Structure 1
């Protein structure tokens, strides 16, 4: 597990200053792009294309603010549309360090997305944002993931206001799935499989005592497993934001997960 810490920055909500006039083209682009959760597929800079991590996303709200994830860190910004173009400025982000590949993608995505006037092109469920120099971001429209029946891949764990991302190789073996009919949660904690009762009510999930297999794995996997087990046999608040699920226990233990794609 990555030991570097997360320091949350304030994501400032900034109002959109609307331009006067009757730019019907701009209004059309705004309606097509705003209010949609866009999954980032790739970023191309100087002719080199990098595939996006699962977390990378963008949503431009109707109030003229933009929020999303660069691939590691969450961000917020001001968004303004003019004549088939959009510009994101005054960006603020969290300060979490992830594995090198994620951070390399994040640097390219953030530099391409913000403080540029980007040409907006939509086609079906796809969106392409292109800079004056030809660098581009490709995105795809996504529907919200339901809590039940979704395989939630754990991507980060936290405690006492700090969080650390899981290495990519651990994420394939660390996940939870909630079943509404049985009222159970099943999954894998990095090493062992788990099964427990799960009662969902009023923004909270009460996880019962976990039943697990008894394999032994390497130290990092067992550390991840022990951290996740502290969420069980208690009640955690949950926040579902499109394709992201966050669980936070009363003692400050937290887990962030994304819907498997």
Structure 2
């Protein structure tokens, strides 16, 4: 009787063992895909986070290249000149622009000082809410031109210590971060003629036209003034010499003699324009390395000190 019961119990245990073993196998098989799925999920989350973080705070231009702001803040930019409608005009002394790191801008137009807000995004510069003093100045042409340019969004080009701001019309403002150089000496300097000017009225703000020296004659026309009142130079075709009585800010030319070469085309035109300026009483200004001569009839020339 005991033997039969034991056999039955043994059979029962074997039966239970056979049923239990497959259950352990099933759990082990399910454990593998669950672990792989979890790893894939973690990997996917990590990839998404990295991708989002890489682009945070960056602006991208064409081709996906990151666009960074030009380093224009914290620098005193001295305005050297402006070129509008093909005419280059030297800036008055102490004309400057300075933007701080918080976006505040201050400066001087050449007569009146100004302040406001500035935004630099990539190579674009916006000057906004500019307030200025209201002093009356003898010559406001440069200031009015600069005020007009600063109302536009400007494109900036930075080359070492030199900054160029360009308007939508292609007019430019040249600035530098280098210390301001002293004025070139009026006497003894070789002044290379760059352009000729003509005013319809001698009053401040009067309309003015300008014509650059043609490329074929560029660099050939120049003037040199001596401390003894002498003047010599070249018209781009003939040599010249004469006398000019000097007083503060003014010259009075005597007869100007030239050599007798026949001048035609561009060289002949430049010679006529130059000799017309060198007649009678003429006012002059030296600003840095730039010289301006203006006759009583409103005709004049712009020249630059040779290096």
User: 1:168 Cα shift?
Assistant: 2.7
CA distance in 2, matches of 1:202, 1:211: 25
Q: Counterpart of 1:207?
A: 253
User: 1:248 Cα shift?
Assistant: 1.2
- Correspondence for 2:276 among 226, 230, 234: 230
Look at both structures and tell me which one has the larger radius of gyration over its CA atoms.
2
CA distance in 1, matches of 2:211, 2:113: 24
Q: Counterpart of 1:64?
A: 107
The structure where helix makes up a greater share of residues is: 2
SS of the residue 2:269 aligns to: helix
Residue 193 of structure 2 corresponds to residue 146 of structure 1: no
> In the superposition, relative to structure 1, how do residues 174 and 80 fare at CA in structure 2: closer, same or farther (>3 Å)?
farther
User: 1:258 Cα shift?
Assistant: 1.8
Q: Counterpart of 1:115?
A: 153
User: 1:119 Cα shift?
Assistant: 10
Q: Counterpart of 2:32?
A: none
TM-score between the two structures when normalised by the length of structure 1: 0.54
Q: Counterpart of 1:49?
A: none
CA distance in 1, matches of 2:245, 2:120: 47
CA distance in 2, matches of 1:189, 1:217: 10
CA distance in 2, matches of 1:210, 1:61: 42
SS of the residue 1:169 aligns to: coil
CA distance in 2, matches of 1:221, 1:152: 18
Larger RCO, structures 1/2 (Cα 8 Å, 6+ apart) = 1
SS of the residue 1:222 aligns to: helix
Indicate the RMSD between aligned Cα atoms, in angstroms: 4.4
SS of the residue 1:194 aligns to: strand
Aligned residues: 186
User: 1:227 Cα shift?
Assistant: 1.9
User: 1:80 Cα shift?
Assistant: 4.9
Contact kept, 8 Å, 2:79 with 2:175, in 1: the verdict is no
User: 1:167 Cα shift?
Assistant: 1.4
What does 1:13-162 correspond to in 2, within 5 Å? 29=74, 32-33=75-76, 36-38=78-80, 59-60=95-96, 64-66=107-109, 80=116, 87-88=126-127, 93=145, 115=153, 126-127=161-162, 139=176, 141=178, 142-143=180-181, 144-161=183-200, 162=209
SS of the residue 1:167 aligns to: coil
User: 1:172 Cα shift?
Assistant: 1.3
Residue 233 of structure 2 corresponds to residue 187 of structure 1: yes
TM-score between the two structures when normalised by the length of structure 2: 0.47
User: 1:198 Cα shift?
Assistant: 1.8
Q: Counterpart of 2:52?
A: none
CA distance in 2, matches of 1:119, 1:156: 25
CA distance in 1, matches of 2:177, 2:216: 25
User: 1:228 Cα shift?
Assistant: 1.5
User: 1:114 Cα shift?
Assistant: 5.8
SS of the residue 2:241 aligns to: strand
SS of the residue 2:184 aligns to: coil
